[in-house]
Structure 1
Amino acid sequence: MEDVRIGSFDLDAVGAYPTTLPSPRMPSSGFSKSLNPIYTDHDTTTTTTATTETDSSPSAAAASHDEGAHAATASAARDCPPPPPAPAPVPARRHTGGDGRWEAIRAAEPPLSLGHFRLLRCLGYGDIGSVYLVELRGGRGELFAMKVMDKGSLAGRNKLARAETEREILGLLDHPFLPTLYSHFQTDKFCCLLMEYCCGGNLHSLRQRQPSKRLTEDAARFYACEVLLALEYLHMLGVVYRDLKPENVLVREEGHIMLSDFDLSLRCSVSPALVRSPSGRISAGGLAHGCMLPRILPGKKKNKGDNKAKLDDDETVTSVGCKKPSSLEFTAEPTSARSMSFVGTHEYLAPEIIRGDGHGSAVDWWTFGIFLYELLHGATPFKGSGNRATLFNVVAQPLRFPDAPAVSAPRPGISSVDCWRRSRTTGSRPGAAPRR
């Protein structure tokens, strides 16, 4: 049984990140502009295009056309160089398209080693390794986050498999809110992972700098949405994250998030499927796990006098042509995953982990609720005077929401507590109705 991860490394204590975050500037390949409500962009950059003034009167245009058209054509054919050859097609990149760090790594003299990098500073310490900010020697100032793991220490603690699992997971990822693994290599003593560097700190530090040490509802909603998308993507790959907390949610320069630290993650099998949604299931317009599908099968002939014709088992068309949404939904949640490991951080542990009942992907949705609660209220809901008291509260104490600060009311017909309870019993994310 593995040990519980306790506490976190305080990045601000060693000056790993700036104390203030820059105004968002999105890369050309990313979002057009940050939507992060934490930031406001007061700088306005005006791009001026130089133009040449010409006489646009009809007489001048006609004269120009009559007297100089043939001469201009002949001169252009004689003086202009041949057009340059078409550029070679650019190979497809990952979500960071146009990222020069890929080319810089490829241009480095193989095989890649620690000697190719200049160590700048330590960014943090994890359970199985340390993360450093490094610069590629001979490059153009490309920065990377390098996780360095001591192979002897890993072997002595029986954690070589965990390090290998983290490398495999990072190699699968291609998502705007998850890290990019540029390369990995080994020396006689170390295993090294070369990853994307986030200069904006983490959500824990950002929350600590806000008034009352909590985020506004708009900001919390923004971060929660991006984390939700990242978790769903991981689950579709068969990855249970198991370590969501503000310290592990990094902030990029442009204001968007990146999940980090996958050394506690669990890889499992997942079987994507189309399932029939029972009546009363919350639609995809809310937080239900699913999506509406277009009609694929041809419809049956409409009988005379019928107000509606049956198209198939899951969709109907009314007499005025309005389609009711399909009741099929796509699911890719690794609900069959089971682990007996005792891993996580005390304040975020799900009850089934504490009780030793075995757990699956539902623990990520429990932790997602704790994460959102902490962003809104500045503290986790079950924190006790010590670790034992915290674990007891998670298992035995009911969830209570404080009266202040006030947050938006839940959607009609379902309460926040209902969402929380359903996520615990169905293995789906908060907001989904129980499966029948």
Structure 2
Amino acid sequence: MSDEEDLHRREIPHLSFNRLKVLSALGRGAKGVVFLVKDEDRDEFLALKVISKALIEKKGKAVAEGNEYRRVCFEQGVLSLLRHPLFPRLRGVLDTDKLVGYAIDYCPGRDLNVLRKRQSEKMFSDDIIRFYAAELVIALEYLHKLGIAYRDLKPENVMVQENGHIMMVDFDLSTKLSPRTTPASSPCSSNSVATSRNSLSSKKRPSPFHRLCNSGISPEDLASMNGHSENSARAESDSTEKSNSFVGTEEYVAPEIISGEGHNFAVDWWSLGVLLYEMLYGVTPFKGSNRKETFYRILTKTPDLNGEATPLRDLIRKLLEKDPKQRIELEEIKGHDFFRGMDWESVVQISRPPFIPENVDNDIEGNNNNNTNIDVESVVQGIFQNGDVEKNKKTDQKQSGDYAEIVNNKKVWNGAFNHHPTQTENFLVF
């Protein structure tokens, strides 16, 4: 075994329930359930996302054969590439007869939605928004330089780490586009990114996920994607490659996705505008009484930016420009008055972010002392009704018939979970 191969295996081990103590269920998404676990071999706490193979197979047949396998493999491949303090590391992969999953770093601070609702008026001040907005801009810049359009930016996907900095999670709806520039080498080591790319490009080390996803997007595709970034010098606005997938979370989805005109990295800047609006006002700007009305508002309504004119409101207005060609982009965002005086190189090194989780050790220790044996397989199958996707989805048609979405019903819930899922729903159609 080469040194590189040995490094890769040590970085991304094959996990089993023999070495994991399952402490509690943290939350659920469209396909999987996230558990807090302790890796007893390494004496560390992790967040383990687990997905039912039966559900993947059912959904794959219901949507388009093979797509669900590709998405699971794609998300794992993206996690393998990430080397940045605002993103999780892939800590291990799980593959049993009935389940697949992967472990990432555990964030004890919950997510920005939980944190916002803890504020006295369920809103953040401009200064606090500036900090989180800056980290989100840095995180999206990093992803875009890797050629990854995130496509599901919302408060529930922005976790708070133990040190108070954010961590973006859940790449289930992300996609690969032509990267625009080389990844920044600052807080994320360019050498480590290169190491990850080289590790992934070797075809001698099929992971459990690779075996599962042999018909899908492989890590080698992602490595190739990352390699293209070294030769690209075009700006985001010069991008001609677009995706036509109808994908996102309804209140945060960009108008060009709804209209089916094709989309690129600009959809993430739209979602950032929605998120900043929510942080400022406590509500999203386009929510209607149902999905159809929400989409109509996104396509036609101007956001109500009530209050005095401020740099933050101006930034939100420019991010929520319906025409993606006119929407503000990276360099304009970083140079906007709202970020005047911002030292972009030191943001992720700030030692005292606005909120640092309290009693982290006590919370984890309380879970660790819980002797209840959690049967992961039973929990996952119970929530998703043994993979019967027909019982866990609903289809909505726009009256004119120009779009359709398949939505996973998120009302099924287990009272033992530590926090609630988003109230909006993900949808995905290729």
TM-score, scaled relative to structure 2: 0.58
Taking the aligned partners of 1:332 and 1:168, their CA distance within structure 2 comes to 25
> In the aligned structure 2, how far is the partner of 1:347 from the partner of 1:111?
37
Look up the equivalent residue of 2:165 and give its one-letter code.
H
CA displacement, residues 38-75 of structure 1 (integer Å, 9 cap, x when unaligned): xxxxxxxxxxxxxxxxxxxxxxxxxxxxxxxxxxxxxx
Q: Separation in 2 of the partners of 1:217 and 1:232?
A: 22
Deviations 1:94-128, CA, capped at 9 Å, x for gaps: xxxxxxxx99x9499x8532221011011111112
Q: Which one of the candidate residues 170, 180, 198 is aligned to 2:89?
A: 180
2:23 is matched with 120
Residues 122-137 of structure 1 mapped to structure 2, 5 A cutoff = 122-137=25-40
Take 2:243 and 2:11, find their aligned partners in 1: how far apart are those partners?
Answer: 42
Q: Where in structure 2 are the equivalents of 1:276-355 lying within 5 Å?
A: 331=234, 333=236, 335-355=239-259
Per the TM alignment, residue 152 of structure 1 is displaced from its structure 2 partner at its CA by: 2.1
Q: Where does structure 1 lack aligned partners over 5 or more consecutive residues?
A: 1-90, 93-101, 274-328
Query: Partner residue of 1:211?
Result: 120
The CA distance in 2 between the partners of 1:181 and 1:211, in whole Å, is 36
Shift of 1:191: 1.4
CA distances 1:377-401 after superposition (whole Å, capped 9, x unpaired): 1111111222221111111112331
2:79 to 159, 167, 170: 170
Alignment of 1:63-142 (within 5 A): 106=10, 112-140=15-43, 142=44
Q: What is residue 284 of structure 1 aligned with on the other side?
A: none
2:325 matched residue in structure 1 = 425
Structure 1 counterpart SS, 2:324: helix
- Alignment partner of 1:226 out of 135, 138, 147: 135
Q: Distance in 2 between matches of 1:124 and 1:408?
A: 36
Separation (CA, whole Å) in 2 of partners of 1:219 and 1:384: 28
Paired residue secondary structure (1:127)? coil
Q: What is the 5 A alignment of 1:228-243? A: 228-243=137-152
| Preserved contact between residue 79 and residue 90 of structure 2 (Cα < 8 Å) | yes
Larger Rg: 1
Contact 1:236 1:332 in 2 (8 A): no
Q: Does 1:358 align with 2:262?
A: yes
Matched, 1:199 2:111: no
CA distance in 2, matches of 1:332, 1:189: 44
Whole-angstrom distance in 1 between the partners of 2:310 and 2:11: 52
- Counterpart of 2:40 in structure 1: which amino acid? R
Q: Equivalent residue of 1:194, what SS?
A: strand
Distance in structure 2 (CA, Å) of the matches to 1:190 and 1:127:
15
Structure 1 residue 170: Cα displacement:
0.5
Q: CA deviation at 1:337?
A: 3.3
Which residue does 1:272 correspond to in 2?
Answer: 181
- What's the CA shift for 1:185? 3.4
SS of 1:357's partner is coil
Percent of residue pairs identical: 40
> In the alignment, does 2:49 pair up with 1:147?
yes
- For residues 160 and 315 of structure 2, the distance between their equivalents in structure 1, rounded to whole angstroms, comes to 31
The residue identity in structure 1 corresponding to 2:38 is E
Q: 1:196 to 1:259 in 2, by over 3 A?
A: same
Match of 1:145, SS? Answer: strand
Code of the residue aligned with 2:23 in structure 1: it is: L
Identify the residue that residue 386 of structure 1 maps to in structure 2: 290
SS of the residue 1:425 aligns to = coil
d(CA) in 1 for partners of 2:10, 2:164 = 28
Please tell me the residue identity of whatever aligns with 1:217: D
Q: Which has the higher contact order (CA 8 A, sep 6+)?
A: 2
- 1:345 shift after superposition: 1.2
Show CA shifts across 1:358-409 (max 9, x none). Answer: 2111100100111111111111111122222111111111233112xx5634
What do you get for the CA RMSD once the two structures are aligned? 3.1
**Residue identity in the other structure for 2:56:** L
CA deviation profile, 1:398-435 (whole Å, cap 9, x unmatched): 233112xx563479xx87645643972157626739xx
User: Hey, what's the Cα distance between the residues in 1 that align with 2:322 and 2:291?
Assistant: 27
Shift of 1:138: 4.3
Using the alignment, how far apart are the partners of 2:100 and 2:252 within structure 1? 29
Q: Which runs of 5+ in 2 are unaligned?
A: 61-67, 183-231, 334-430
Shift of 1:166: 0.3
How has the CA–CA distance of structure 1 residues 410 and 261 changed in structure 2, closer, same or farther, with 3 Å as cutoff? Answer: closer
Give the conservation status (yes or no) of the 8 Å contact 2:287–2:294. yes
- Tell me if structure 2 keeps the 8 A contact 1:129–1:149: yes
Deviation at 1:193, TM superposition (A): 0.6
* Shift in Å, 1:217: 0.6
Give me the TM-score of the superposition, normalised by structure 1.
0.57
| CA deviation map 1:267-296 (0-9, x unaligned) | 2222438xxxxxxxxxxxxxxxxxxxxxxx
Residue in 1 that maps onto 2:163? 254
3-state SS of 1:206 partner: helix
3-state SS of the aligned residue for 1:390? helix
CA gap of 1:174–1:427, structure 2 versus 1, over 3 A, is: farther
Distance 1:242 1:217 in 2: 25
Query: Structure 1 residues 185 and 415 mapped into 2: Cα distance closer, same or farther (>3 Å)?
Result: closer
Which residue in 2 is equivalent to 1:59? none
What amino acid sits opposite 1:372 in the alignment? L
User: Quick one: structure 1 residues 210 and 152, their matched pair in 2 at CA, closer, same or farther if it must change by over 3 Å?
Assistant: same
Specify the code of the residue in structure 1 equivalent to 2:259. R
Corresponding position: 1:263 with 2:165: no
